[in-house]
Chain A
Amino acid sequence: MMLSLDPVWPAFFLSMKVAGWATFFTLILGVSVGYFLARVNFRGRDLVDSFLTLPMVLPPTVLGYYLLVLLGREGAIGFWLQGYGISLIFTWQGAVIAATIVSFPLVFKPARAAFESVDGQLEQAARVLGLSEISLFFRVTLPLAWRGIMAGLLLAFARAMGEFGATLMIAGSIPGKTQTLSIAIYEAVQAGQDDLATLFVLITSFICIVVLLSASYLAPGRIAYRG
Chain B
Amino acid sequence: MYLDVDIQKTFSSANRHFELNVRFQSDSQRIVIFGPSGSGKSLTLKAIAGLIKIDQGHIRLDSRVLTDRNKKISLTPQQRNLAYLFQDYALFPHLTVRQNISFGLTKGWLNPAPKKPFAAVNYWLEAFELETLADQLPDQLSGGQRQRTALARALVAKPQALLLDEPFTALDADLRHVMRKELDQLQQQLQVPIIMITHDPEDVAIFGQHVLTIKNGRIISDDVG
B103 and A126 within 8 A (CB): yes
1/0 contact string of A120-152 vs chain B (CB within 8 Å): 011011111111101100111001100000000
Q: Does A74 contact B (CB under 8 A)?
A: no
The interface stretch among B88-96, B166-174, B197-205 is: B88-96
For residue A138, which residues in chain B have a CB less than 8 angstroms away from its CB? 109-110
1/0 contact string of B67-107 vs chain A (CB within 8 Å): 00000000011101011101010101110000000011001
With contacts A121-B90, A122-B90, A122-B92 known, is A131 near B110, CB below 8 A?
no
A144 and B90 within 8 A (CB): no
For the complex, give the distance between the alpha carbons of A130 and B108 in Å.
10
For residue B110, which residues in chain A have a CB less than 8 angstroms away from its CB? 138-139
B76 and A127 within 8 A (CB): yes
How many chain B residues touch A (Cβ–Cβ < 8 Å)? Answer: 25
Q: Is the interface of B mostly helix, strand, loop or mixed?
A: loop
Q: Which of B80, B82, B88, B90 touches A124 (beta carbons < 8 Å)?
A: B90
With contacts A134-B109, A139-B110 known, is A129 near B94, CB below 8 A?
no
For the complex, give the distance between the alpha carbons of A138 and B92 in Å.
13
For the complex, give the distance between the alpha carbons of A125 and B82 in Å.
11
A127 and B51 within 8 A (CB): yes
Which residue of B is nearest A121, CB measured? Answer: B90
B104 and A121 within 8 A (CB): no
A131 and B78 within 8 A (CB): yes
For residue B37, which residues in chain A have a CB less than 8 angstroms away from its CB? none
Which residue of B is nearest A134, CB measured? Answer: B109
Q: Does B153 contact A (CB under 8 A)?
A: yes
Q: Does A119 contact B (CB under 8 A)?
A: yes
Q: Does B111 contact A (CB under 8 A)?
A: yes
For the complex, give the distance between the alpha carbons of A139 and B93 in Å.
12
A130 and B109 within 8 A (CB): no
With contacts A140-B92, A144-B93, A144-B94 known, is A127 near B77, CB below 8 A?
yes
Q: Does B49 contact A (CB under 8 A)?
A: yes
B77 and A124 within 8 A (CB): yes
Nearest CB of A to B194, in Å? 15
B90 and A119 within 8 A (CB): yes
Nearest CB of A to B95, in Å? 9
B111 and A128 within 8 A (CB): no
For the complex, give the distance between the alpha carbons of A133 and B23 in Å.
31
For residue A139, which residues in chain B have a CB less than 8 angstroms away from its CB? 103, 109-111
Which residue of B is nearest A137, CB measured? Answer: B109
With contacts A135-B109, A139-B110 known, is A128 near B83, CB below 8 A?
yes
Q: Does B22 contact A (CB under 8 A)?
A: no
Which residue of A is nearest B111, CB measured? Answer: A139
Q: Does B157 contact A (CB under 8 A)?
A: yes
Nearest CB of B to A87, in Å? 39
With contacts A130-B78, A130-B157, A131-B78 known, is A143 near B90, CB below 8 A?
no
For residue A140, which residues in chain B have a CB less than 8 angstroms away from its CB? 92
For residue B86, which residues in chain A have a CB less than 8 angstroms away from its CB? 121, 124-125
Q: Which of A119, A122, A129 touches B104 (beta carbons < 8 Å)?
A: A129
For the complex, give the distance between the alpha carbons of A10 and B201 in Å.
76
For the complex, give the distance between the alpha carbons of A128 and B164 in Å.
13
A10-27 contacts to B (CB < 8 Å): none
For residue B84, which residues in chain A have a CB less than 8 angstroms away from its CB? 124-125, 128
For the complex, give the distance between the alpha carbons of A125 and B103 in Å.
10
For residue B103, which residues in chain A have a CB less than 8 angstroms away from its CB? 126, 129, 131, 139
* Residues of A bordering B, CB below 8 Å: 119, 121-122, 124-132, 134-135, 138-140, 143-144
Mind listing 8 A-B residue pairs with CB under 8 Å?
A121-B86, A124-B77, A127-B76, A129-B104, A130-B104, A130-B107, A138-B109, A143-B111
Q: In the A-B complex, list the 9 residue pairs whose CB atoms are closest, starting with the nearest.
A: A129-B104, A125-B90, A127-B77, A128-B84, A138-B109, A121-B90, A130-B78, A128-B77, A139-B111
Given A129-B153, A144-B94, output 7 extra A-B contacts at Cβ < 8 Å: A119-B90, A127-B77, A128-B51, A128-B77, A128-B82, A130-B107, A135-B109
